[in-house]
Chain A
């Protein structure tokens, strides 16, 4: 019976949706800025999985090219975001996400 189950692209899409919503939940709930950033990475990865799946479904390489751009944007975002977090946590070592207003001025 298990052998009769076929892995369709829909499974990948549902898995991507699950990962995205788990990441969104973590982003909304966690207060440590580093963990919030990891949740953003989780959401980005869910989207890349969806892009690759659609690339296979549509028989078009454009989806995979978009994944490359998502990777570049994720790398740039992590660099700038971690720099901001370093600036924030250097000033106040136990800062949570609520203390981002400290960076003003």
Chain B
């Protein structure tokens, strides 16, 4: 029992320290690393409650995939700048947030305490000789089969949505059949206008060169 107490205190302290580190870190990278501490602590608490498979999945999926994805996005976007937490952009926001979160805490702990931390409706004993992964698999593929199938649809939707959101938008293709003709007509008009402007410019250039010649003549006259 002392071992369980020791494990609980250590893992719980890691969880709480990591959670506080997430919300107090000015740098998002430090917040992500604090999140890893919390996730490992929760994995240890899963092992302490005989959920070994879930502990492994917790480490692999959360610490191995999700936090790495977070760090990848932070590094990809180069937004690892620090936030200044001393300024409070919205006056009274932190006090209101503290009231809300303490209210949630009081509500949940109060609801638990009102039950005396006892549960009713225990359906039966878990057979401890069967490994937890076998029990979990049997449960997933019998009682929760439809939910399990629907999660595959959810994952497909998530992948499609992520690809749609994250790709760069290209210039739209020409779909209007008359667009090419109109574009050519506009191009002809632009060419005609440019020709006219070019005439004017050429004339001016001509005038300017005339002036330059006249100046040159004048210079020569002065020299002579």
| Interface set of A (CB-CB < 8 Å, partner B) | 2-3, 5-15, 17-26, 28-32, 34-35, 37-39, 41-42, 45, 48-49, 52-62, 64-65, 67-69, 71-80, 82-87, 89-90, 93-94
Query: Taking chain A's interface residues, is the majority helix, strand, or loop, or is none over half, making it mixed?
Result: helix
Q: How far is the CA of A74 from the CA of B161 in the complex (A)?
A: 15
The 19 sampled A-B contact pairs (Cβ below 8 Å) are A6-B1, A10-B112, A17-B108, A17-B112, A22-B19, A26-B23, A30-B23, A34-B74, A35-B25, A42-B38, A45-B42, A55-B51, A64-B136, A64-B139, A69-B151, A71-B57, A78-B69, A79-B161, A87-B166
Shortest distance from the beta carbon of B126 to any chain A beta carbon, whole Å = 5
Residues 141-188 (chain B) with a chain A CB within 8 angstroms: 143-144, 147-148, 151, 154-155, 157-159, 161-162, 165-166
Judge whether A67 and B54 touch: CB under 8 Å: yes
Shortest distance from the beta carbon of A71 to any chain B beta carbon, whole Å = 6
Does B224 belong to the interface (CB within 8 Å)?
no
Contacts of B124 in A (CB 8 A): 59-60
Contacts of A67 in B (CB 8 A): 51, 54
B74 (CB) vs chain A CBs: closest residue: A34
Q: How far is the CA of A59 from the CA of B20 in the complex (A)?
A: 32
Judge whether A82 and B70 touch: CB under 8 Å: yes
Q: How far is the CA of A23 from the CA of B42 in the complex (A)?
A: 14
Contacts of A90 in B (CB 8 A): 77
Contacts of A69 in B (CB 8 A): 144, 147-148, 151
- Given A38-B70, A61-B135, residue A68 in contact with residue B46 (CB < 8 A): no
- Given A3-B2, A24-B101, A83-B161, residue A68 in contact with residue B140 (CB < 8 A): yes
Q: How far is the CA of A21 from the CA of B148 in the complex (A)?
A: 29
Does B83 belong to the interface (CB within 8 Å)?
yes
Q: How far is the CA of A10 from the CA of B132 in the complex (A)?
A: 22
Q: How far is the CA of A34 from the CA of B8 in the complex (A)?
A: 29
| CB contacts between A and B, total, < 8 Å | 238
Kindly specify which of B89-97, B191-199, B209-217 makes contact with the partner chain: B89-97
Judge whether A11 and B8 touch: CB under 8 Å: yes
Shortest distance from the beta carbon of B97 to any chain A beta carbon, whole Å = 4
Q: Which of B101, B151, B154 has the most CB of A within 10 A?
A: B101
A14 (CB) vs chain B CBs: closest residue: B109
Shortest distance from the beta carbon of B7 to any chain A beta carbon, whole Å = 8
Contacts of A53 in B (CB 8 A): 49
Judge whether A9 and B117 touch: CB under 8 Å: yes
Contacts of A11 in B (CB 8 A): 8, 12
Contacts of B161 in A (CB 8 A): 79-80, 83
- Given A3-B1, A25-B101, A82-B70, residue A58 in contact with residue B162 (CB < 8 A): no
- Given A6-B1, A76-B154, residue A89 in contact with residue B23 (CB < 8 A): no
Judge whether B15 and A2 touch: CB under 8 Å: no
Contacts of B200 in A (CB 8 A): none
Q: How far is the CA of A32 from the CA of B105 in the complex (A)?
A: 24
